[in-house]
């Protein structure tokens, strides 16, 4: 399972540099779900950069003071336990207890960040997340969705109560009629946008799309597809394109847009990983 956490620039940098090895949180209902070998996606509130870590151990304490007394505070990011009360109340500490999440950094993934207005994640009043999947079959072909004049990867919007893995299972089933279960899968690329006055005036929208990849002979089951009215109207279909031709095919499309540009980026990352 992949969980998400937002971080200020300083702790994000400490984790990225390897000096901070234990992230501290309340052991609230969300954190009670954490297990060793789960993954965390950290997002830098200021820069929108993301990175992934693996949970290698979990430590439970009654209070921040007991945690700071147990560990060398350098691996906790420095400071003192008293600083934790800038973020959490003593009532919350007493109610939930404290969790130390030991992490191991994973290799950096390719990502594009679009933030022309120099906004932060805290500025956003709307968050949209998507999970997209690159599928390569045994014929060395890449699965592409076609609808109207648009070309894109299978996958879609992550609902509020979903993980990326759950979203991919649901979207693949809806769009292909095939049920696949995803676990312990990490993205190979990511695109992150924050836009002012989008989709309407007054909105500040953060959009995150993570791109995953599998090798699988996915043969669509048309009878089991569950397409939307728009997809039916726009003649949604799935097609395979030889992987040595797919980039030229997509780049020669006349309707180049942000989605297609990011799709091309993700496929290029995938093809480079195969070399």
Question: Using CA atoms, how far apart are residues 153 and 142, in angstroms rounded to an integer?
Answer: 9
**Cα–Cα separations (whole angstroms), residue 242 to 43, 123, 178:** 35, 42, 21
**Which pair of structure tokens corresponds to residue 98?**
């404290």
| Closest to 198 in 3D by CA, of 111, 115, 254, 264 | 115
Contact 37, 103 (CB under 8 A): no
Question: Using CA atoms, how far apart are residues 76 and 57, in angstroms rounded to an integer?
Answer: 14
Question: Using CA atoms, how far apart are residues 74 and 10, in angstroms rounded to an integer?
Answer: 13
pLDDT score at 101:
97
Contact 14, 68 (CB under 8 A): no
Q: For 35, phi and psi rounded to 5 degrees?
A: -135, 155
DSSP bridge partners of 9: none
pLDDT score at 258:
81
pLDDT score at 254:
66
Contact 194, 206 (CB under 8 A): yes
| Closest to 140 in 3D by CA, of 211, 221, 245 | 245
Q: For 262, phi and psi rounded to 5 degrees?
A: -70, -35
Query: Which three-class secondary structure state does DSSP give residue 230?
Result: helix
Average pLDDT of adjacent 10-residue blocks, the chain of 275 residues:
92 93 94 94 95 96 94 89 92 96 94 92 94 97 93 94 92 95 91 92 95 96 91 93 95 80 95 87
User: What is the signed CA dihedral for 61, 71, 38, 120, rounded to 10 degrees?
Assistant: 100
Beta strands in 70-203 (DSSP E): 98-105, 110-114, 126-136, 141-147, 150-152, 154-157, 189-196
DSSP bridge partners of 86: none
Architecture of the 110-273 domain: Alpha-Beta Complex (3.90)
Residue 108 DSSP label = P
Question: Using CA atoms, how far apart are residues 177 and 224, in angstroms rounded to an integer?
Answer: 4
Question: Using CA atoms, how far apart are residues 219 and 40, in angstroms rounded to an integer?
Answer: 32
Question: Using CA atoms, how far apart are residues 155 and 211, in angstroms rounded to an integer?
Answer: 9
Which class would CATH give 2-105? mainly beta
pLDDT score at 266:
96
pLDDT score at 79:
85
Domain boundaries along the sequence of the chain: 2-105, 110-273
């Amino acid at each position: 399972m992949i969980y998400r956490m937002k971080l200020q620039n300083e702790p994000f940098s400490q984790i990225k540099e390897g000096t901070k090895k234990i992230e501290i949180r309340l052991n609230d209902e969300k954190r009670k779900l954490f297990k060793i070998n789960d993954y965390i996606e950290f997002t830098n509130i200021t820069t929108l950069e993301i990175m992934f870590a693996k949970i290698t151990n979990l430590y439970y304490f009654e209070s921040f003071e007991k945690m700071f007394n147990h560990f060398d505070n350098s691996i906790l990011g420095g400071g003192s336990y008293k600083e934790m009360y800038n973020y959490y109340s003593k009532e919350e500490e007493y109610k939930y207890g404290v969790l130390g999440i030991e992490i191991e950094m994973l290799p950096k993934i390719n990502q594009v960040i679009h933030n022309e207005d120099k906004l932060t994640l805290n500025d956003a009043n709307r968050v949209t997340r998507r999970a997209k999947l690159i599928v390569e079959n045994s014929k060395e072909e890449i699965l592409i969705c076609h609808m109207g004049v648009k070309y894109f990867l299978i996958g879609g919007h992550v609902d509020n109560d979903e993980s990326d893995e759950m979203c991919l299972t649901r979207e693949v089933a809806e769009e292909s009629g095939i049920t696949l279960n995803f676990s312990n899968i990490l993205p190979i690329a990511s695109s992150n946008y924050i836009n002012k006055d989008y989709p309407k005036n007054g909105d500040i929208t953060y959009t995150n799309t993570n791109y995953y990849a599998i090798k699988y002979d996915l043969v669509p089951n048309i009878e089991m597809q569950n397409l939307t009215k728009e997809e039916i109207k726009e003649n949604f279909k799935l097609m395979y394109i030889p992987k040595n031709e797919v980039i030229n095919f997509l780049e020669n499309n006349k309707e180049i847009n942000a989605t297609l540009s990011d799709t091309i980026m993700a496929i290029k990352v995938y093809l480079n990983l195969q070399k």
